[in-house]
Structure 1
């Protein structure tokens, strides 16, 4: 797995590099200290995954994410954030980022996020997903949920509601008393039926359409 680390703090980049390269199957192929440099390195180094900070000079992580996602066969982007940057993270997800990770997350979460992103999945802090989407999702349109949701089975709608609450696959499996592999299958079918890229977009759609609501349990 080829990784590009984009952060304006040298110590942060160094720390992430040490953690990731301790894994035998992860290689940090480039670093970037600005958003503009991240865009250049994304083209030149051809990483599979980019860890993208939001606040960087020249070009911030949001603009860099939008630019990189316009590339042919773009890498997966995981946004690095802190709790006080909620609105920026939501914009990053809308720009095409696959997920986000707290900068102070344990090393195991960093490694898991990179592995998930490299396989086309996304590892998102459940609590942050819930806070972000519930705070910033647009109110449902007067027409109600989009007709495409009708294609989901009752169990798939159950899974989507739990995804909207920020639950991980393992937590959804425990809630529904099914195997985690069964949940993964439901998630894959939800994404296919809704014609969306990842679970982040599914969660945003659930709130924006009114299918899920603030405080829903």
Structure 2
């Protein structure tokens, strides 16, 4: 069955609405049971394919949606789901995708959390609750992969980012586009574009996603770093 929803779809006040996009029937059935027997959570529905899952989430507006990374190899689905800002995306990662490049790209696409598909139920519940209340969760077992430098990468001296450039880079890593970054930092879109160009140059990056990956590998960004506030900063 391609899509499954709990009826009625309206949510009980104070509960966290959860949805799942995963191609494995046993995973869909298991998560539904786990969530519905957990106080404060409610399972809203599931889908086995990315396009069906996107429509499901647009209709039900879950607080948290878990996505099988195999169904979103380039982060496009995660970006679409998180772009509205109301839904937090947690990627279920298998061993084939436990690389620093994939994890950094996932965070750049707007993913709020990543967790192993083999994680224990208690860990999965912790991830759901953490991304809902804190906006981010990283499976402790995946943190070393994200922090580890690429074996082929040779450390090169780089110009330090300004305080404002660092803020812009953090917001890029959280999946924000230029207009949203401008709104958060109270600057013009053109100013954001200028900062982005400077970031790419200083980090020797070909695009925004690559810049985030380089920043995580080199320690310019760290996983638990707080998201910048909206107070003006000097360049």
Q: Which interval holds the TM-score relative to the shorter structure? A: 0.5 to 0.7
SS at 2:89 equivalent: strand
Using structure 1 for the length normalisation, give the TM-score. 0.64
Query: After superposition, where does 1:1-217 map in structure 2 within 5 Å?
Result: 1-56=16-71, 62-70=75-83, 72-87=84-99, 88-135=102-149, 142-148=157-163, 194=167, 196=170, 205=215, 207-208=217-218, 210=220
Contact persistence 1:4–1:30 (CA under 8 A): yes
> 2:40 and 2:74 mapped to 1: Cα distance?
26
Contact persistence 1:90–1:136 (CA under 8 A): no
Contact persistence 2:108–2:174 (CA under 8 A): no
| C-alpha RMSD over aligned residues | 3.4
Query: Cα gap change, 1:14/1:75 in structure 2, threshold over 3 Å: closer, same or farther?
Result: same
Q: Deviations over 1:76-103 (max 9, x none)?
A: 1010012221243332222110120111
> 1:211 and 1:46 mapped to 2: Cα distance?
30
Query: Cα gap change, 1:197/1:51 in structure 2, threshold over 3 Å: closer, same or farther?
Result: farther
> 2:38 and 2:74 mapped to 1: Cα distance?
26
Using structure 2 for the length normalisation, give the TM-score. 0.59
- State which structure, 1 or 2, has the greater radius of gyration over its C-alpha atoms: 2
Query: Cα gap change, 1:126/1:194 in structure 2, threshold over 3 Å: closer, same or farther?
Result: farther
How many residues align? The count is 167
SS at 1:126 equivalent: coil
Unaligned 5+ residue runs, structure 2?
A: 1-15, 176-211, 223-235
Unaligned 5+ residue runs, structure 1?
A: 151-192, 213-217
**Structure with the higher helix share, 1 or 2:** 1
> 1:127 and 1:24 mapped to 2: Cα distance?
26
